[in-house]
Amino acid sequence: MFSSSQKKLISHFESCVKSGTLRQSYIIKGETGLGKKTAAKKIAEYIMCENHSACGKCGGCLSVKTGAHPDYAIISNEDKKVIAVDKLRAMKKDVFTKPIMSKYRLFIIENAHLMDAPGQNAILKIIEEPPSYAVFIFICDNLNSILPTIISRSHILDLEKWSSEDLKIALPLPKDKEYMYSYSMGSIGSLKELSQDEEFADLRNGVIKTFVDLMGTNELSLYDAIDFWLLNAENKEKLIEILILFLRDVMLFKTSLPNLVANSDKLKEIQAVSQKITLNKAFEMLQLANDAPKMMGKYGNFKMAAQTLLIQLSGVH
């Protein structure tokens, strides 16, 4: 199952292969978790297929699938650290071997944003003047660290986020987990991770419950909220993310857009809070939550920052 954006990308390559207009260097960029590598593997089948159709049956397609195609190489770094310059130097050498099975010699460079300057310099020449059969596909999260020479020689293609319709087809979830589609923010990778995260449901329930109580009149609720946040300190990013999405939901509810809320199973809680605070207050709280990571950096310790945030939230209300 591919997203609409993946399909668009793949069909771009399909038509280039069929019309013989394939370029020599491409950059596919997009956030982590959108399925760049999965799309690239399909693209490789189109490029290496003997029938130019990713038929899945010819020698080209089959060897791409098993990773045994002599004209196809993936340069990767599973540890997500800098791509060793040696790997790129080896690719530079390898590119001058003429293709054996296919018309092309294809190199896919995964996590290309992790190539350092010496690594990129090592391959500049072959990107500038590649042998006619060579095709490079750089896959990266962003272009920030890619040398301008490589960018200018490459055709840049973006992979967009997944629509919630696509996510629902790719990974059907039971009703009580449907909120995860919103939390995944259009990333199939995040959605898969989230759906296997057994702690997440408890975290979300806890953040929302303690926040709803905080907006009530019980004076002990501040202590309970602080306790809960400190107990879950190792998940601080998630705590903040849940709070931000919940506050956003309160604002959507107040502006009569309840069908857009992320926590669709928590309408009762969203409504309870939205009756107690004005839109401005909700906005003020959202800003506090957004600033929380910065505050943690400033205090250098989570405890102090979480306490301050929760005291401020209860004070705003």
Do the beta carbons of residue 73 and residue 62 sit within 8 Å? no
Angle (CA) 167 169 171, round 5°: 65
Options 43-51, 68-76, 144-152, 301-309: segment touching Zn ion (CB under 5 A):
43-51
Angle (CA) 215 293 259, round 5°: 50
23/57 with CB nearer Zn ion: 57
Report the alpha-carbon distance of residue 110 to residue 94 in Å, rounded: 17
Sign of CA dihedral 288, 292, 293, 294: positive
Cα first-last separation, the chain: 46
Report the alpha-carbon distance of residue 127 to residue 153 in Å, rounded: 7
| 91: its two tokens | 């690719």
52/266 with CB nearer Zn ion: 52
Q: Is 106 in the site for Zn ion (CB under 5 A)?
A: no
Backbone dihedral angles phi then psi of residue 65, each to the nearest 5 degrees: -60, -40
Of these, 28, 34, 47, 61, which contacts Zn ion (CB under 5 A)? 61
* Total of chain residues touching Zn ion, rule CB under 5 A: 4
Report the alpha-carbon distance of residue 113 to residue 23 in Å, rounded: 21
Distance of CA 33 to the CA centre of its chain: 4
Of these, 2, 37, 38, 55, which contacts Zn ion (CB under 5 A)? 55
Q: How far is the CB of 52 from Zn ion (least distance, A)?
A: 8
Distance of CA 187 to the CA centre of its chain: 5
Options 42-50, 70-78, 190-198, 241-249: segment touching Zn ion (CB under 5 A):
42-50
Options 59-67, 144-152, 235-243, 265-273: segment touching Zn ion (CB under 5 A):
59-67
Options 34-42, 49-57, 108-116, 170-178: segment touching Zn ion (CB under 5 A):
49-57
Q: How far is the CB of 48 from Zn ion (least distance, A)?
A: 8
User: Which residues, 6+ apart, have CB-to-CB distance to 34 below 8 Å?
Assistant: 3, 5, 6, 159, 160, 161, 162, 186, 187, 188, 189
Q: How far is the CB of 35 from Zn ion (least distance, A)?
A: 21
| 121: its two tokens | 């310099």
Q: How far is the CB of 57 from Zn ion (least distance, A)?
A: 6
51/290 with CB nearer Zn ion: 51
Of these, 49, 115, 194, 243, which contacts Zn ion (CB under 5 A)? 49
Q: Is 47 in the site for Zn ion (CB under 5 A)?
A: no
User: Which residues, 6+ apart, have CB-to-CB distance to 195 below 8 Å?
Assistant: 171, 173, 177, 180
Q: Is 58 in the site for Zn ion (CB under 5 A)?
A: yes
55/244 with CB nearer Zn ion: 55
Chain residues in the site for Zn ion (CB under 5 A): 49, 55, 58, 61
